[in-house]
Structure 1
Amino acid sequence: MHPAHSTPSGRQTPDVFLSGLLFYDIGFTGLESAPTPGAEIWTKGMGSSPGGIANFAVALSRLGLRVSLAAAFGDDLTGAYCRQLLSDGEGIDLSRSRSYANWPTPVTVSLAYDGDRALITHGQPPPDSPDELIGTPPPARAAVAHLGPEPQQWIRTAADAGTLVFADAGWEQAERWGDEILAQLPDCHAFLPNEAEAMAYTGEDSPYAALEALSELVPLAVVTLGAGGAIAVDRATGERAGVRGLDVPALDSTGAGDVFGAALVAATLAGRSLAERLRFANQAASLSVQRIGGAAAAPFLQDLEPLVQPEQ
C-alpha cells in the first residue's frame, strides 16, 4: 500500500499523469464490407465514448490508479460530454485540462470490418502546445506522452523529477519525423510502438530487429504485434520476454493498443517481471477488443487475473 499524498491545493498526487490528443469516438461494428459511394450500410452495433489519450486514461483509472489528464476540449456538446464522463464517471483529474471556445472537439468515426477498422477523423490542432497547456507537470510515479516532431519540455522536467515516462507516437510521425521522434527517447523510460511503426522508425524489416534497435535507445522497448501479441526488452532489469495474442472473438480493435499500454504501466508500477507485465497487458487488450470502443471497452481490475494487481 502506498500513501495518498496531496498537493498544496488538496488534490491527491496522481500515480500517472497523461498528455495527448483527445477525441470523441463513434464506433460502428458488424459491417460486412467497407462503405461504397452511393450506398447505405446498416450496422449491427454502435458505441461512443471519449477516445485518443482518453483510452489510456480510462484504462489506467479502471485498473485502480490515480490519474491526471492534460488535454484540450472544445467548448461544445461533445467536449462537455467527454469532460463529464471522464471526471464524474471515471474519476479522472482534469485540473490540467482546458476547454477552448470556438475550437471543436476532434471527432473520430471507426468502421470495424474484416477483422480490422478504418478511421475517419475531423479535427484541428489544439490552440495551445502541450508545454503551454501543462506548464510544470505534477509529480507522478509515471507519465504517458504522445511524441510529436517538436520536443516537449514537460517530458524532460518530469523525467528529471524521477517520473517514468512511457511514450508512443503514430505512424504519420514515423513517416514524416522519424529522426525527431527517436531523438526524444533519451528522456523516456519506455517506448511502445506497434510493429509497423517500430519498423518505420528504425528502418528494419522485422519487428524483432526493430525491437533490438529501439532497445538501444530507451530502457524499456515494447513492440506490439496486434493479434500476434507483443515482444519487449527491459535493459534496466536485463529481461527479454514475448507473449502470444489470445484467441478471442474480436469485435472492435479501436483503442486496444492504448489499453495494452495502460495495463503495462500499471503492472510496471506494481514491480512485476517483464513477462508478467506483458501477460497482464495482453489480457487487458484481449478483453477490450471483445467490446465496442476504446475507453468504453477498457476492462476493470476485477475483470483481470489477480496475478499482477497494482499495489495501492
Structure 2
Amino acid sequence: MKKPIISVVGSINMDLIVTTQRRPAVGETIIGSEFYTKPGGKGANQAVAAARLGAEVHMIGRVGNDIFGNELLSLLNKENIFLNNVEPVTHLPTGVASITLSEGDNNIIIVPGANSLVTPEYLHQHIETILKSDVIITQLEIPIETVEELSNICNQYNKTLVLNPAPAQRLSTNVISNCTYITPNEIELNQLKEQHPHMLVENEEKLIVTEGKKGSYYFHQGEVQRVKGFTVNAVDTTGAGDCFNGALAYSLGMKKDIAEASRFANAAAALSVQNLGAQEGMPTLKEVEQFLAQYSV
C-alpha cells in the first residue's frame, strides 16, 4: 500500500527549554538545572512525527529570515519533509515557545512571530498541496481565521481534516462541523465544553481525546470507547500530543479505523516521551511496530 500524503498547516517554532526541580512562585527567582534549544511548534512536531512513520509530509507554514528559521528549515529538510510551502518572512522573527520542565510535566508560553502570517490568503497560495493530500492536520498556533478557511476547503473537497485544538480557544460552529476529527487533551476538552456546551452531544463522534499515560478515548453510538495507554518512564512530555496527532494522521491515511489508529498513536506517543525534546523523540514505524508487538496477545 502506498504511503499516505499528509499536509500539516501549522506552526514552526524554536523551543527554549528550562529544566528545574520546582516551578517558581509569582515574583520568585529560582536556579534552574539545564537549558536547551530544541526544534518545535505543534505543526512542525506533527509533521516530523508523521514523516518518521513513513508518510509523505508537506509542511505549510512560515518562519522568520533569521538564525532560528534557517536552523528549523534545515532540520525539517533532514526529516524528508517537503518545504515548498514554507516561505521565510523578513519583518517578523521565527516563532518561539518558552518551556519549563518540572515535576514530570511542562508549562509552555508561545510567541507566534512568523506563524501569524499563515493567513487564509497564504493558504490559498498552496491549495494544490492540500487537495492532493489524504489527511490534513492543523492546530491553533496559527490565526483562527486560517483554520476556519482550511476547514471550509476540506469540507468543500471532502478531505479528512484533523484539528488539534491547542492552545485551546473558541471554535466556530462552522469549524466544528467541517472537521473530520478533533483531538483535545483533557484540559482542552474541558475548555471546549465550557465554550461549546452542546458540543459533546452534537459532535461527539468527531472527538478523539488524549489522556496522557492513560491512553485515549473516542465515542461510538453514544458510548465511550477507551483505548488503553502504555506505562513508560517519561523524560519529556512536551511533544507527546503532537506525536499522537502525527501518528493518528498516518494511521488514518493508511485506512485504519479509529480504534486501531488510536492504539497506534498511543504507542507512538509513549515512545516519544522517553527522550528530551519534542521532535527528537518521534519514533519510526519499525520502533512503533516492535513496541506494539510486545503487547500483542
Conserved in 1, the CA contact under 8 Å of 2:6 and 2:250? no
Give TM-score, length-normalised by structure 2: 0.84
Q: Please, which of 253, 259, 263 is the counterpart of residue 269 of structure 1? A: 253
Within-5 A mapping of 1:141-290: 141-147=134-140, 149-150=144-145, 152-173=148-169, 177-178=170-171, 180=172, 182-203=173-194, 213-214=199-200, 216-217=202-203, 219-233=205-219, 241-290=225-274
CA displacement 1:28-53 (0-9 Å, x = unmatched): 44x3212474443223x745123321
The DSSP-based 3-state class of the residue aligned with 1:95 is strand
Count of residue pairs brought into register by the alignment: 282
1:23: which partner in 2?
Answer: 13
Cα gap change, 1:120/1:167 in structure 2, threshold over 3 Å: closer, same or farther?
closer
Shift of 1:264: 1.1
Conserved in 2, the CA contact under 8 Å of 1:284 and 1:298? yes
Conserved in 1, the CA contact under 8 Å of 2:151 and 2:175? no
**One-letter amino acid of the structure 2 residue matched with residue 225 of structure 1:** E
Shift of 1:26: 2.9
CA displacement 1:198-243 (0-9 Å, x = unmatched): 1221239xxxxx9x943732653101112221101257xx996312
5+ residue gaps, structure 1: 5-13, 205-209
5+ residue gaps, structure 2: none
The DSSP-based 3-state class of the residue aligned with 2:137 is strand
Cα gap change, 1:282/1:94 in structure 2, threshold over 3 Å: closer, same or farther?
same
Cα distance in 1 for residues equivalent to 2:226 and 2:183: 14
**One-letter amino acid of the structure 1 residue matched with residue 282 of structure 2:** A
**One-letter amino acid of the structure 2 residue matched with residue 91 of structure 1:** N
Q: Please, which of 72, 76, 81 is the counterpart of residue 71 of structure 2? A: 81
Cα distance in 2 for residues equivalent to 1:216 and 1:273: 21
Does residue 41 (structure 1) correspond to residue 25 (structure 2)? The answer is: no
**One-letter amino acid of the structure 2 residue matched with residue 92 of structure 1:** I
The DSSP-based 3-state class of the residue aligned with 1:91 is coil
Does residue 63 (structure 1) correspond to residue 53 (structure 2)? The answer is: yes
Cα gap change, 1:42/1:129 in structure 2, threshold over 3 Å: closer, same or farther?
closer
Cα gap change, 1:134/1:33 in structure 2, threshold over 3 Å: closer, same or farther?
same
Which structure carries more helix by proportion? Answer: 2
Cα gap change, 1:126/1:246 in structure 2, threshold over 3 Å: closer, same or farther?
closer
Cα distance in 1 for residues equivalent to 2:201 and 2:283: 29
Shift of 1:20: 1.2
Conserved in 2, the CA contact under 8 Å of 1:242 and 1:278? no
Cα distance in 1 for residues equivalent to 2:278 and 2:201: 28
1:108: which partner in 2?
Answer: 97
Cα distance in 1 for residues equivalent to 2:115 and 2:243: 24
The DSSP-based 3-state class of the residue aligned with 1:295 is coil
Shift of 1:105: 0.5
Identity, % of aligned positions:
27
**One-letter amino acid of the structure 2 residue matched with residue 261 of structure 1:** N
Conserved in 2, the CA contact under 8 Å of 1:72 and 1:97? yes
Q: Please, which of 119, 126, 129 is the counterpart of residue 108 of structure 2? A: 119
Shift of 1:170: 2.3
Cα distance in 1 for residues equivalent to 2:128 and 2:203: 24
Conserved in 1, the CA contact under 8 Å of 2:15 and 2:96? yes
CA displacement 1:137-176 (0-9 Å, x = unmatched): 4221010122554353233223322320111222441xxx
Conserved in 1, the CA contact under 8 Å of 2:12 and 2:115? no
Conserved in 2, the CA contact under 8 Å of 1:55 and 1:295? yes
Q: Once superposed, what is the RMSD of the aligned Cα atoms?
A: 2.7
Cα distance in 1 for residues equivalent to 2:228 and 2:262: 9
Within-5 A mapping of 1:3-14: none
Cα distance in 2 for residues equivalent to 1:38 and 1:113: 15
